[in-house]
Amino acid sequence: MGTITRSFANNITTSGVLLPASLTNNSIANVTSYNAAVSQGNMVLISSQTASNSASISFTTGINSTYKEYQFYFIDIHPRTDEAFFQFNLSTDAGSNYNVTKTTTMFRSHHNEADTDASLSYQSDKDLAQSTSYQPLMPYIGSDADQSGNGSLTLFNPASTTYVKHFIATTNHSEYDNYSQEYFMAGYGNTTSAVNAINFNMSSGNFDGTILMYGIV
C-alpha cells in the first residue's frame, strides 16, 4: 500500500467521509504525476461586434462543428426605444432567414429601487411553443442614459444533424420603471439541421452595446 493510499485509509470514517488530516503538505508532496489528458477547458474568442444605434447584430460565420458549445456575452445593451425587448433567433441557412422553430421556458426575479416590490415568477407570456418568433432575452429594458442590460446565452452543439439545438440564458437589466430584472430562459431549436447563424435585435428601434462570441474547447 502506497504512502498516499495509507494516508487516506487511516483518515476515512466508517461512513466514507475524508477527515481533514488526510490532506496534508506531506501527502500532497507525494503526488508525482497527474493525468495530462484531462481537459482544462478553454474559452476561445471567435468574434466581437459592437452596435452603435444599430438595428441588429448577426453572427453568420464561426458557428460550425469546431466547438460543441458556443457562448455569447452581452455587454451594456442599451435600447434607443424605451421598454424594448432584446431578443434572438437562429438560422440554418447562414443568415438568409432567422426562423428556426423553438420551444422555450422563462422565469424572472425582480426588485424595484424603492424596495417596495420583489417577486419570482414564471413568464408564460414570454415563452414559445413551436414558434419561429424571436425569443426574448431581456424584456422591457429602459432607455434612460444610465440603463442597460448584460448577460449570456449558451448554444450547445449547433452543428449536430442528429439532435435539436438546446440553449440557456441568464440576463440582468435595468427595467424602464426602475426594477432590477433577472431573467432565466432555456429551450431548444426544434431542428436537426445544423444551426450556423444567430441574430440579435430589439423588438422596437435600434440599440447600442457589445456582443462577444466564444467557442468552448
The answer to whether residues 128 and 68 belong to one domain is yes
Q: Do 4 and 51 have their domain in common?
A: no
Same domain, 14 and 67: no
- Rounded to 5°, the CA angle 137-99-55 comes to 55
Please name the residue that has the C-alpha cell 452543428.
159
Do 65 and 125 sit in the same domain of this protein?
A: yes
- pLDDT tens digits for range 135-146: 999 999 999 999
pLDDT score for 21: 61
Assess whether 59 and 166 both reside in one domain: yes
pLDDT tens-place string over residues 51-91 = 999 999 999 999 999 999 999 999 999 999 999 999 999 99
**Degrees to nearest 5, angle at CA 212 with 211 and 216:** 145
Q: How far is CA 95 from CA 88, 146, 215, in A?
A: 12, 32, 19
* 29 and 64 inside one domain: no
User: For the whole model, what pTM was predicted?
Assistant: 0.82
Three-state SS across 129-149? Answer: CCECCCEEEEEEECCCCCCCE
123 and 206 belong to one structural domain = yes
Instruction: For residue 98, give its domain range.
Output: 43-216
Do 70 and 176 sit in the same domain of this protein?
yes
Domain count within the chain: 2
**pLDDT for 185-212, tens place per residue?**
999 999 999 999 999 999 999 999 999 9
Q: What is the CATH number of the domain that holds 130?
A: 2.60.120
Q: Is the pLDDT reported for residue 40 higher than 80?
A: no
Same domain membership, residue 60 and residue 8: no
Same domain, 112 and 27: no
What pLDDT is recorded for position 38? 45
Residues 93 and 154 in one domain: yes
110 and 143 housed in the same domain: yes
